[in-house]
Structure 1
């Protein structure tokens, strides 16, 4: 995903339908000023409650979801524009993950049109109102950013294949894979075991391993890796800190992290509950925060966040899962900024994966059939690994979020 200069030329007339502005971050004073100047829209504030990123983000998801549910329940006859105002820097930028929720909302309810408007943290209410009014004239632009006097629009740029990309694993490296007992985690554990001599691979999961899991770990050890499984809930900060402390003591630290933990609780937007949202957000959102904070002083070589196409493009029935995965993309950008300031180590990339043929979460048969009709095919393991190596080998300027698609190239483009 990249930011490019916005369109020039004529624009549509001012938005005349129902209009909501959601200001993220809890700044009530600025919200009042925006509401006073933008009388044509209803303004609300989200994300102001709780302490820490996970609590504030979950509050914002719940508050935004409740707003969307109220709008849908009223059965609007015209299209409704929902603009989310997000700060462009610091932890406040993480609220940009709400874009995943909006994308899913539009897929389920086509009369809802969402737009993220990213602004500088120090912009006045008058400047924000001007940005909102300008962007409302281009409602087809789903994400807009104002920075240093320029207006940019988010888009996707295809990466060219890169032959001969080197594997990121190194001999004797120590690699942590959360959600490691799942199909996708085990695929990457095997890739490490085959690609690096004497590698240490630590897999985590919330459940005890069954006989099949123990057999897979034994297979990895036969490839020459030292493998361990730890029952850890990554949403539990104390448990994550304890795990990282153990790895420091026993192996001297961690070389790289693959954050692949996740759960789904699929249901339509109107039926989503707070319990479902908490269950879905916890492993992704609290998980990445806990991993990042526990390893803040380690010289990591990489931190890879396994997201989903639901976050990048939305997916029916997965409003919460989309919001969780879209947060990972924003977190990757935020952490890379910290790396540039010398506060963290190792490149962070969020990869929005499609359905894998041999691993990861599976779709119901009807959903998979629908994807095939759209030209999408389950991702083969070899192609997925190649995409992973390509994503990690790229320069940081290529993007903090990379989406992988598998299928008929003509249909996908």
Structure 2
């Protein structure tokens, strides 16, 4: 199967039904006025704007809030709701808030590192009436339009044979930023050899004195192109404007390919405003400068190189995810204004060159476990040609091993649940199996089972084939954990056990043995707790308030509740007085009231 038919995706917003269930909230600004008892949700409203200064300020502010939220133990039982407006395009609408889009990328990375702690909502109106239902749906990000809740899902795009973006004449000039990089050289050759470009303006910090520039110029000239290297810091708007002024009128600039970028990976807790800015400069600032400075030029193509990290929210890449999410939004924003715009959200490239070559063994293992396979040069070039011919602002170009994800038995990103629908079932099954195993294990042997589980997860994260090499009493600090590995390990162990574990688990319980003893105490606490023998109306009401009626029906519980409302046992379906249609018109309160009224009449 051609790579162009299996590795091109886009993010789609699908409507879902949630119950109208208003819950207690407090705004982030008022958080300091509360004591230890927090409401179920704290709402952080984000500033909006499209200029580089506002984008940076917004992401700096949200980063600080995220770090405070995740570091404070008393916040652990509440959810942080980060609210934006106009930051996603639900039905082809304009993205009017690039700062909010960048915040979205940052938040998605934080969600990956700390599942269940944060929800991202983009809304055109108030969220109070729907918030309880949204939280019950366990969706990490939603968009609300006219009172309708939508969720993000990755869908496959079947590429056509449409011509690639840009029809370049022999006298046209095409600009590439980041030209000294691996991808800059690769695509410069491709644009000349396959797309007919004959005049290239190549920008990099060092220009013609950069590594490989002389050889690249000669190779491009042999392919029939005129080449000009320019030393330019693309984060400097004035310098970039000067370069554009220098383009000859008889060879107008008709194509922009923005490939500049840097990596500075780190877990959310370790990021700083300076580390955010280091990534934003060549990615976001430069793209926004190009967007503004070329607005009046006769461009046929405006293509920015982004990353799937923006859509997925890769752990350890909060700054990179934020920057690339902003680029994806810029492409949609340009299209809404009638300008050309495409953001190519690349997955993992092969390790031969580019930023992927900078990844260490730990990062490569992490990418492999994610189910994302590397793209070869030939595959990347084919995807480039296919994607730039699509009517899609921000296609995701990635080789995803969906079969491996289906069989992994662990949580799959919600974004992929339309392609791998077993996500929640598989995750809950793993913890249920462990609980069943512990229940059938003698008391004196349960700790050993948990030590085995912990050592197995450590071996997986650190790339060991045999868990026996992990000594139970050896400190995690000596096993090769970094901050991101610790987060990934905590999340994997939480999935395996079904327990909510502190972010500092490997520091609080510094060896497999110590952590297993902590887990044993947690499971012990669950066993010792006695189930309630009587359930009050309020306790049932509170429990069911968080469950959408559609989910009760899907779980096979709604019919049982309907029978309860009619005072029937499970064997008698006659004389049913409550119909499916009338049930669908009720909320949970109405259903429970009906149940209690009918049962009291009996």
TM-score for both structures, normalised by structure 2: 0.58
Higher relative contact order (CA 8 A, sep 6+): 1
**2:175·2:200 contact (CA, 8 Å) conserved in 1?**
yes
Does residue 185 (structure 1) correspond to residue 184 (structure 2)? The answer is yes
* 1:139–1:93 Cα change, 3 Å: farther
- Give the stretch that moved more between structures: 79-88 or 194-203: 79-88
2:396 is matched with which residue: 388, 403, 412? 403
Alignment of 1:131-146 (within 5 A): 132=131, 134-146=133-145
Aligned length: 378
**2:268·2:318 contact (CA, 8 Å) conserved in 1?**
yes
For residues 367 and 26 of structure 2, the distance between their equivalents in structure 1, rounded to whole angstroms, comes to 32
Q: SS at 2:316's partner residue? A: coil
For residues 291 and 207 of structure 1, the distance between their equivalents in structure 2, rounded to whole angstroms, comes to 19
Gaps of 5+ in 1: 24-38, 340-344
Deviations 1:138-169 (A, max 9, x none): 3415131314x644333222012435755745
Does residue 87 (structure 1) correspond to residue 86 (structure 2)? The answer is yes
Does residue 6 (structure 1) correspond to residue 15 (structure 2)? The answer is yes
For residues 67 and 143 of structure 1, the distance between their equivalents in structure 2, rounded to whole angstroms, comes to 20
For residues 368 and 14 of structure 2, the distance between their equivalents in structure 1, rounded to whole angstroms, comes to 34
Gaps of 5+ in 2: 1-9, 30-38, 88-93, 406-418, 420-602
2:55 is matched with which residue: 47, 54, 57? 57
CA drift at 1:386: 1.4
Give the match for residue 308 of structure 1: 307
More strand by share: 1
Q: SS at 1:135's partner residue? A: helix
Pick the structure with greater CA Rg.
Answer: 2
Alignment of 1:306-385 (within 5 A): 306-339=305-338, 345-346=339-340, 348-357=341-350, 358-362=352-356, 363-385=359-381
Deviations 1:222-253 (A, max 9, x none): 11111111111111111111111112x25532
* 1:44–1:111 Cα change, 3 Å: closer
**1:46·1:59 contact (CA, 8 Å) conserved in 2?**
no
* 1:21–1:317 Cα change, 3 Å: farther
* 1:407–1:158 Cα change, 3 Å: closer
**2:28·2:44 contact (CA, 8 Å) conserved in 1?**
yes
For residues 167 and 193 of structure 1, the distance between their equivalents in structure 2, rounded to whole angstroms, comes to 14
For residues 111 and 197 of structure 1, the distance between their equivalents in structure 2, rounded to whole angstroms, comes to 50
For residues 226 and 239 of structure 2, the distance between their equivalents in structure 1, rounded to whole angstroms, comes to 22
Does residue 386 (structure 1) correspond to residue 401 (structure 2)? The answer is no
**1:178·1:259 contact (CA, 8 Å) conserved in 2?**
yes
For residues 179 and 198 of structure 1, the distance between their equivalents in structure 2, rounded to whole angstroms, comes to 18
For residues 215 and 43 of structure 1, the distance between their equivalents in structure 2, rounded to whole angstroms, comes to 55
More helix by share: 2
CA drift at 1:59: 0.6
**1:53·1:91 contact (CA, 8 Å) conserved in 2?**
no
**1:197·1:224 contact (CA, 8 Å) conserved in 2?**
no
CA drift at 1:15: 6.2
* 1:101–1:207 Cα change, 3 Å: same
Give the match for residue 229 of structure 2: 229
CA drift at 1:11: 4.6
